[in-house]
Chains A and B, each alone.
Chain A
Amino acid sequence: MNPAGAGDRRGPDPDPRTGRPGEAGLASVTDDLRAFLAAVTGRGELRHIPPGTALFGEAVGLDSLTGTLLLREIQRRFGVDVAGEDLNLDSLATLGTLAAFVAQRARPRGSS
């Protein structure tokens, strides 16, 4: 009954080899962020941008509307309130800075 997505909640799983968030966590957060960006902007090519890509400006063109949707999705999926923890929103400089910010703070589900 429920639309797609409801059963798909997952945080950045801890690295299965080390049991804690690490490089694997960062890579999976980065991939998830690429997918969110592609979804909120409607631009599928954003699934392939490198971590150094600036989010504001030409390449991605994040604005107040798409940015709000992105932050809402990050809060829903990772439990991280980017706008609340980073008042200046400096973490939104590039895909890589945002992924690192989120990966550091994400609450792994089902663990303490």
Chain B
Amino acid sequence: MTRAGAVPDNTAPDNTAPERTGPEHPGPEHPGPEHPGPEHPGPEHRAPANPVKCVVWDIDNTLLTGIYLESGDEPPGADPVLAAVLAELGARGILHALASRNPPEAAAHTARVTGWRFAAAECGWGRKSDALTRIAATLGIAVDALAFVDDDPYERAEVGSALPGVLVLSPEEAAEAPGWPEFSPPVITAEARRRGEMYAERQRRQEAGRSFGGTREEFLASAGTQVTIAAATAADVPRLAELAARTRQFNSAAGRPPAQAGDAAPPGGDMTEDWFGGLLSARDTDVITVRLRDSFGDDGMVGGCVITRDAATWTVPLLMMSCRAMGRGVIDALLAWLTRQAARAGASRLLIPCGRDGRNVPLRLALAAAGFRVPGPPPAAYQRDLGTAPPALPGWVTAPGEPGGGTA
């Protein structure tokens, strides 16, 4: 609060000249002649480890062309270059949030002048690294999926030091960000384009949930939750590949040791559109999609799985869900449906190979809650006993092979 006025403009190092830091972030005009073209993608040229899912923006002298509290009756307008960056990244499914040493009115003003609906806003006088941590928690994404843009080198240093996984940028660097791989998701689906809106719906849903008196199941039912499980079609393939690339907390193949013998899935990260497309016509293989909607909004396809069947064993080489759908009964419904279908088909075993690390704890919890255990040593495969009574499927789930499925 005091620093903004205390630092004279001409001594702030980054206010004088756009400074490109980090040779690992070449702008689009420096493609590097030694790089092989995209038609020769070696294994090391996969998507970057941390694609940015949300950009957290400072307001004063960053998104606005001045300082909100020092501008009297007429607050400053939007920086036109960065407003265009907001729109370009937003169209790619990247979220935007605000972290500002300002009263909340500054966030409302910024939303108005940039024409952007921010998925989260932290206004206050605490550390910005704490604000980023809260934004990540609110949006249900990992801190290292954030980028942070601020004109103040002190704030950038604070965030960079407290949260080393965050991509920290000056406004000048942010202006170039649309050309960088971290901001260039390989596929952009209808779900991605609506992502900003869906997070706003999520905020309204969470507020309603907090004021709701009953259990979670009662809230899901009262919100008109509808989970639809269905066989995938060719039109679903881009979104399936996008989910496979973007999900981590709920992705049974991510973090798994590559190349297990007899594994139908390629090592994590190679689940391309071609791979999914090929599975659609493969024998004894099902590709399944899961869609979610309720009275607050339509989240589209939020999950899916691949099933390979033989007489005795159903194996699920990939089970995935967007973390946006966490807490809404989706993964539980999918696991219950898989169990019911495998049992009904007469299989004796249902296997879900899944590594176990610190990042997929939510999926491991869902598997444990659904009665899955890992009986043997690594490589880990979760198993469920199919001899017991099948788990119930809530009435708001529509799924193939389920008696009530067609009427929900």
Contacts and interface: CB of A to CB of B under 8 A. Distances in A.
Interface residues of B, number: 23
Interface string B369-385: 10001100000100000
Contacts of B331: 64
Given A56-B368, A87-B356, A88-B373, A61 B362 contact: no
A88 B374 contact: yes
A25 B327 CA distance: 32
Given A63-B332, A64-B326, A64-B327, A42 B368 contact: no
B358 interface: yes
Interface string B262-301: 0000000000000000000000000000000000000000
Contacts of B217: 61
A38 interface: no
Contacts of A43: 215
A89 B216 contact: no
Given A65-B327, A83-B358, A88 B368 contact: yes
B361 interface: yes
B1 to A, nearest CB: 13
Contact of B365 (A68, A81, A84, A90): A68
Contact of B363 (A57, A62, A64, A90): A64
Contacts of A68: 361-362, 365
Given A41-B216, A61-B217, A88-B373, A83 B364 contact: yes
Interface string B189-217: 00000000000000000000010000111
A92 interface: yes
Contacts of B361: 67-68, 71, 83
Contacts of A61: 215-217
Interface in A70-109: 71, 81, 83-84, 87-90, 92
B362 A67 contact: yes
B362 A65 contact: yes
Contacts of A88: 368, 373-374
Given A43-B215, A61-B217, A83-B361, A67 B380 contact: no
A90 B332 CA distance: 18
A68 B363 CA distance: 10
Contacts of A84: 358
Which one of A41, A68, A87 has the greatest number of beta carbons of chain B within 10 Å? A68
Contacts of B364: 83, 87, 89
B369 A62 contact: yes
A87 B374 contact: yes
Contacts, number: 61
Contacts of A67: 361-362, 365, 369
Given A84-B358, A87-B356, A87-B380, A63 B365 contact: yes
Which one of A87, A90, A92 has the greatest number of beta carbons of chain B within 10 Å? A87
Nearest to B380: A87
B393 interface: no
Interface string A36-74: 000001110000000000001100011111111001000
Nearest to B361: A83
B111 interface: no
B175 interface: no
A108 B391 CA distance: 41
B231 interface: no
Which one of B250, B361, B362, B380 has the greatest number of beta carbons of chain A within 10 Å? B361
Contacts of B374: 87-88
B366 interface: yes
Contacts of B368: 56, 88-89, 92
A69 B210 CA distance: 15
Contacts of B369: 56-57, 62-64, 67
B124 to A, nearest CB: 10
Contacts of A41: 216
Given A42-B210, A66-B216, 10 more contacts: A43-B215, A56-B368, A61-B215, A63-B369, A64-B365, A68-B361, A71-B361, A71-B365, A88-B374, A90-B373
11 contacts: A56-B369, A57-B369, A63-B216, A63-B329, A64-B362, A64-B366, A67-B362, A68-B365, A87-B356, A87-B364, A92-B368
Interface of A: 41-43, 56-57, 61-68, 71, 81, 83-84, 87-90, 92
Nearest first, the 9 A-B pairs at minimum CB distance are A65-B327, A67-B365, A64-B362, A64-B366, A56-B369, A89-B368, A83-B361, A64-B365, A87-B356
